[in-house]
Structure 1
Amino acid sequence: MAIVDDLINPRGTKRTCVVVLGGRGFLGRSLVTRLLQLGDWVVRVADSTHPLQLDTDSSHGDSVLRDALASGRASYCQVDVRDPSQVIKAVEGSSVVFYMEAADLPKHDFYDCYMIIVQGAKNVINACRECKVRQLIYNSSADIIFDGSRDICNRDESFPCHWKFADMLSDLKAQAEALVLYANNIGGLLTCALRPSNVFGPGDTQLVPFLVNLARSGWAKFIIGSGDNMSDFTYAENVTHAHICAAKALDSQMISVAGKAFFITNLEPMKFWEFVSLILEGLGYQRPSIKVPARIVCYALLVVKWMHEKLGSRKYNLDISARFFHLASCTRTFNCSAAQKYIGYSPVVSLEDGIRLTIESFSHLAKDSSFGNFEGQSKAEKLLGSGKVSDICLWRDEKKTFTCFVALVLLFYWFLLSGKTFASSTANLLLLVTTILYGYANLPPKISSFNIPKISLSWFEISENSVRDFIMSIVYLWNSGLHTIRSLAQGEDWNKFFQVVLFLYFVKWILVESFAVAIGFALVFAFTAFFVYEQYESEIDGLTRMLFSLTKGLLTSYLPASMTSFLQNKGVLRKENGKVVNEAAGR
């Protein structure tokens, strides 16, 4: 690759060629855009994506890059940092290398993460030495000094890294940072590292989408812990500005900057849950309001982790969930005075403006948007019919659900726990409703400054469509029952037979043991089980399959050979590789 350090701009001054490794990632795109807008550099964008794909609609950064590619002020190079020869080809002829986070990091695979982050850092360092690069600036993370067990309050760079980390990525980032800083001033290479805290902004692929997922699933209403923990956040453009400041400072204040790490924040610490509330409210979602002890959430995460390990499910990213738990329950604030003093950093975008710009950029994820639905209709919603019952049992509207739950609990107490007969309870309830309605009708139109609306007769009317739908539901249930009886009479559907037997046994248990206990259990079940199932659908399905497997083993082990043969002939059991399998369980 030709040396491009000697390219001359129209004013006759030299442009420096810089390489942005990870230039198509979240921060990489922002840095490339900023460098091109300043116009002082020729920028080589290097990333694993191939071929280069530019957004054609609303991405301002991609339009800037498109123009720069056309004018020759930018070029693109596909590179795998695990391949030393590709890295050398990417950095050859440059004088500054910005090493950003990879855009497609496989967070579930430790080996690949290690090869990309740690081995990748070794390859980049060796390539910079071989190609005589002057500066290497590494984008690290403030997470590397956080072990997840204690608060960090206004800590500066003198706070030691204990090599005990809250998650795998922080561990690997710490190793890569140590390699970069240790390589300083060896072979003429000057290095430094920046540690931004809680980066967010347009194009964010982690924090904001994760919060929206929480809001859509109903979990964002909970506050972990007291909700008073403070955090430092950093707008993406401020991080890229800090990288450019570090590159310039390595030339002017080499002794104070080279081989050092610097914390980067917006210099405006705020309550973590206030930040979450501003983001969610800006996108039309409800603010978190229900406080849950952090210890309970910790135990729940441990149970979920155990289920993932047993069932081998990877639907949810546990690393991100654990990281969010630590962020949401601990204080993490950092002292950026060293960055201000030595590299001349100060935020160019305030936290308030950063939050506003981020909300505007994620308008496609706003509530009731036709875009950004991460998952289709859940199984729980399908089971409940996707109507009003589904919205209530799945806590789509917390106020409506809570009102229905309280009303049903009161009716449960009134009819089953009060000690009265059903007839007397009904009579007392009608008497109470009559008294309330009569008293309400005699209230004055206005009490103090409150207007008292009158009850319209339409409140008590039942529409013809509602009656028709009710009758059709009864007819449907009756016909379904007849169909079930017909199937049992023909003796062909053993799966249906077992379902009916289990249902009748359950009804028998209710009538014999305690009707009140059964109703109470059903009430709690309706308002909790479907909601929990929707959140952990894959884990519960996997556990169910595991229980069916155990049932199949017990069934084939203890049944007589004649019974096994009979069920096999009837299609209840089948053979697989010489083993008898329960057909009903596999359906």
Structure 2
Amino acid sequence: MSDRETGLVYLITGGCGFLGRHLLQVLLEKEDKLREIRLFDKHIDPTLREHNTDVQVVVTAGDITDYASVLEVSRGVDVFIHAASLVDVWHRVPEHVINAVNVQGTENVIKACVENGIQYLVYTSSMEVVGPNVKGDSFVRGNEDTPYNVYHTMPYPKSKAKAEKIVLEANGTKVNGGACLHTCSLRPTGIYGEQHQLMKDFYQNGVRTGGWLFQGVPSETEHGRVYAGNVAWMHLLAARALREHPDTVGGEAYFCYDDSPYKSYEDFNMQFLSAFGFREVRVPLIVLWFLAFFNDLMRWILKPVCNYTPLLNRYTLAVACTSFTVCTDKALRHFQYSPLYDWDQCRMRTQKWVDTFPLESKKAT
């Protein structure tokens, strides 16, 4: 029998989302022992079934908070990639909803793995399980063992930290059939690339202000960024390593990294948005702090009548002003990770997509 007939079945929660699309593409291109990919998502895109290989791609609508749905879609799965997550640092989503998706959903995944005898689980975590914190403590060229004052105030990083703890503590759990569950966690820094909604949001802000982008984050601030295709590639390598070297990789957490330059969020995004002729306007940082405070105040005042949740608030400004970069080779040492795409390729692929924004805006109108 061929590898395709005897190959692996992968399940990706959040499979129709930003990272999920990159995971699908990398798996189809780089995983030889592959028979089926299941994409499980609350908001599905049926077109993701369309590809030019003989791998079966199954798109299933479902809610990660519904255990029966998670259990059913994971029957017969070999490798579980749990990428579904509710990301919110703008107070748009109630805390109990974030916890239901990110924490309860992860508990459902673990239970389904145990009941269905699944042995390999890769969890998509976040750098925010560590930081940056709102106290402004920098994390510069840190690694997985670097001490840091972890201090969470928003529901999203709190929920991701809880979920990651659940996943890592589940490593070694007995599953039906007598085998063990092997787990690991990947912590991307700021992901970017094709289909990244936040990049579109920044573009729309520039359009609304007539091409002016107001910036005030200190120029020396730097953040780690990582291309979505390289994050997906690391997931594939981690999944392989869990199967081949579970004693090394199981129970471990890894930062996701590549060759993308360290810059502030503002300067990094402008590398792509400058193509539209947007003009930067530097404003004193104190002005941004006042605007962030004002936005938080208005959100509280307007809460009974509407959901006022702009991108700028005190939390997002604190994060933007706090350096957080990683310098590690743990993934290289443990499972031979090196970026699938170099910086020039990442920049070119992202820019090609960003250049379509004006066309999409015209279609929308």
**Normalising to structure 1: TM-score of the pair?**
0.56
> 2:272 is matched with which residue?
279
Paired residue secondary structure (1:288): strand
CA distance in 2, matches of 1:251, 1:160: 30
Correspondence 1:172 to 2:159: yes
- Deviation of residue 142 (structure 1)? 0.7
The equivalences for 1:281-360 within 5 A come to: 281-282=274-275, 284-293=276-285, 295-312=286-303, 314=306, 316-318=308-310, 321-322=313-314, 324-360=316-352
> Are residues 169 and 300 of structure 1, via their aligned partners in 2, closer, same or farther at CA, if it must alter by over 3 Å?
same
| Alignment partners' CA distance in 1, 2:196 and 2:280 | 21
Residue 89 (structure 1) aligned with residue 72 (structure 2): yes
Partner of 2:39: 45
The answer (yes or no) to whether the contact 1:211–1:220 under 8 Å persists in 2 is: no
Distance 1:170 1:303 in 2: 23
CA RMSD in angstroms comes to 2.7
Q: Where does residue 78 of structure 1 map in the other structure?
A: 61
Quote the residue 2:220 is aligned against: 228
Aligned residues with identical type, % of pairs: 22
Q: 1:371: how far off?
A: 4.4
Q: In terms of Rg, which structure is larger?
A: 1
Aligned 1:93-242 pairs, distance under 5 A:
93-102=76-85, 107-146=92-131, 147-148=133-134, 149-159=136-146, 164-165=151-152, 167-187=154-174, 188-206=180-198, 208-218=199-209, 221-242=213-234
Counterpart contact for 2:4–2:33, Cα < 8 Å: no
**Contact 2:193-2:349 at 8 Å conserved across structures:** yes
Deviation at 1:14, TM superposition (A): 2.5
Distance in structure 2 (CA, Å) of the matches to 1:326 and 1:306: 16
Alignment partners' CA distance in 2, 1:260 and 1:356: 33
Which residue of structure 1 lines up, in the alignment, with residue 241 of structure 2?
A: 249
Instruction: Tell me, in whole angstroms, the C-alpha distance in 2 between the residues paired with 1:323 and 1:205.
Output: 19
What is the total number of aligned residue pairs between the two structures?
A: 351
The 5 Å alignment of 1:253-268 reads 253-268=245-260
Closer, same or farther: CA 104–194 of 1 in aligned 2, 3 Å: closer
Give the Cα–Cα distance (whole angstroms) in 2 for the partners of residues 342 and 265 of structure 1.
14
Alpha carbons of structure 1 residues 220 and 108: separation in structure 2 relative to 1, 3 Å: farther
Amino acid paired to 1:80: D
Decide whether the 8 Å contact of 1:285 with 1:367 is kept in 2: no
> For residues 132 and 351 of structure 1, do their structure 2 counterparts lie closer, same or farther at Cα, with a shift above 3 Å needed?
same
- Counterparts of residues 358-507 of structure 1 (less than 5 Å): 358-366=350-358, 370-371=362-363
Asked if the contact 2:99–2:155 (Cα under 8 Å) also holds between the matched residues in 1, the reply is no
Higher strand share: 2
- TM-score w.r.t. structure 2 length? 0.87
Consecutive unaligned residues in structure 1, runs of 5 or more: 1-7, 55-61, 374-587
Deviations 1:312-358 (A, max 9, x none): 26554356655542343221101231112112211121233322221
Q: What code does the residue aligned with 1:67 have? A: H
> 2-side partners of 1:82 and 1:367: how far apart?
37
Structure 1, residues 448-506: CA drift from partner, whole Å, max 9, x if none? xxxxxxxxxxxxxxxxxxxxxxxxxxxxxxxxxxxxxxxxxxxxxxxxxxxxxxxxxxx
**Could you give the per-residue CA deviations for residues 101-157 of structure 1, whole angstroms, max 9, x where no partner exists?**
348989422221111110000010011011110111010111221113221101111
Deviation at 1:359, TM superposition (A): 2.1
Higher relative contact order (CA 8 A, sep 6+): 2
